[in-house]
Amino acid sequence: MIKKEKVPYKVFVIAGSEPLGSAGMQADVKSICVCGGYAAGAITCVVDEDTEHVKDVCLIPVEMVVSQIKSFMEDVGADCIKTGMLYSKDLVQKVSETLRNYTGVPLVVDPVMVTSSGDQLLKDDAVFSYKESLIPLATIITPNMREAEILLGRKLNINNIKEDLKELSYCGNSVIIKSVPYKDKLVDYFYCPQSNDFREYIKPIIETKNVNGTGDMFASSIATYIARGWRIIDAIDKAEKFIYESIKYG
């Protein structure tokens, strides 16, 4: 059930900017608007990339990122917050410290660590900060398969995936691991520790190269549906449909 009609449903994104318009803050804003939310955000970095590889990353000063967050949250406020590319240990820590002031607002953490082409988007020493500082604040985390393995420090155990999901939900956060190959399909695995709800979203592989930014869009759509008042499992269901159709018809 969604909450009483209220406009706008505000989703605040903390993420990077890129020139293609298909990932990062640009993808976040588009998906939030399509899913019925109002998008606002703090830019963390500027990424120079083409359709093949990331060429360079220019960080926004941490103090500026924190100030952007405070400016919106303390003046306007949000119905849900979503984090994307944070890149450095210092930024992860300072963003986490800032978000502790808004623990009543649901938080979707997309642990952006690698691109679909394999380019690294997170410094090695920042992984620990994610696990110790940011994930404990999260309502849900949305790693892809490689990001889940980085957080776990090992390969996924597909034959006992629920235990891996439980390990990633150690702080009471829900988790969905995206795009795990299974035979000739892909599977997203979801787990909610509060309800012990475990679900598999099995999808046919869509033959396309246009997948840059789909993880950003998926996490932002989840954040939007949460902002609109949907229960987390219903938000996941709606986001799964949204991202599948976006890839299929986009």
Residues of the chain above pLDDT 70, percent: 95
pLDDT at position 2 over 70: no
Q: What is the pLDDT, as a whole number, of residue 5?
A: 57
The secondary structure of residue 102, as a DSSP letter, is: G
DSSP assignment letter at 206: P
Contacts of 209 (CB under 8 A, 6+ apart): none
Residues 132 and 109: their CA atoms lie apart, in Å, by 13
User: Which of the residue ranges 10-14, 91-95, 116-120 would you say has the lowest mean pLDDT?
Assistant: 116-120
Distance between CA atoms of residues 142 and 176, nearest Å: 5
Of 173, 178, 181, give the one whose Cα is nearest residue 189. 178
Comparing CA positions, the residue from 171, 92, 176 lying closest to residue 136 is 171
Q: Check if the beta carbon of residue 241 is closer than 8 Å to that of residue 234.
A: no
Give me the architecture of the 10-141+209-249 domain, per CATH: 3-Layer(aba) Sandwich (3.40)
Report whether 100 contacts 126 (CB < 8 A). Answer: no
Q: What does the pLDDT read at residue 209?
A: 80
- E strands, the chain, in order: 10-17, 38-49, 54-59, 80-83, 107-109, 140-141, 174-182, 185-192, 197-204
Is the per-residue pLDDT at 149 higher than 50? Answer: yes
Q: How confident is the model at residue 125 (pLDDT cuts 50, 70, 90)?
A: confident
According to the model, what pLDDT value does residue 53 have?
85
Residue 33: band (very low, low, confident or very high) from pLDDT cuts 50, 70, 90: very high
Query: Could you tell me what percent of the chain has a pLDDT over 90?
Result: 80
Range of weakest confidence among 52-61, 103-112, 189-198, 208-217: 208-217
Query: Per the structure block, which two tokens stand in for 157?
Result: 């155990």
Looking at residues 56-81, what average pLDDT do you find?
97
Confidence (pLDDT) at 1: 46
Chain centroid to CA 20:
19
Residue 165 has pLDDT above 90, yes or no: yes
Q: How confident is the model at residue 54 (pLDDT cuts 50, 70, 90)?
A: confident
Q: How does residue 51 score in pLDDT terms, banded at 50, 70 and 90?
A: confident
Q: Which two tokens stand for residue 21?
A: 């318009």
Task: Give yes or no for residue 3 having a pLDDT over 70.
Answer: no
CA atoms within 13 A on the CB side of 113: 22
Render pLDDT for 193-232 as a digit per residue (tens, 0 to 9). 999 999 999 999 888 887 888 999 999 999 999 999 999 9
Mean pLDDT of the chain: 93
Listed by start position, the domains of the chain span 10-141+209-249
